Amino acid sequence: MSNTIFQKIIKREIPSTILYEDNDVIAIEDINPVSPVHALIIPKKCIETLNDLSEKDATIVAKMILVAKNLAKELKIDQSGYRTIFNCNDDGGQTVYHIHLHLIGGRKLNWPPG
Asked if 46 is part of the footprint of ligand 5GP (rule: CB under 6 A), the reply reads no
The region that residue 5 occupies, defined by phi over 0 for left and psi between -120 and 50 for alpha, beta otherwise, is alpha
| Cα distance between residue 80 and residue 54, in whole Å | 33
Q: Is 20 helix (H, G, I), strand (E, B) or coil?
A: strand
Residues identified as active-site: 100
* One character per residue 74-103, x = contact with ligand 5GP (rule: CB under 6 A): -------------x-----xxxx-------
Of 31 and 62, nearer to ligand 5GP (C-beta) is 31
Of 84 and 87, nearer to ligand 5GP (C-beta) is 87
Could you give the dihedral angle defined by the CA atoms of residues 42, 47, 49 and 54, in that order, rounded to the nearest 10 degrees? -110
Interface residues with ligand 5GP (CB under 6 A) are 5, 14, 16, 28-32, 40, 87, 93-96
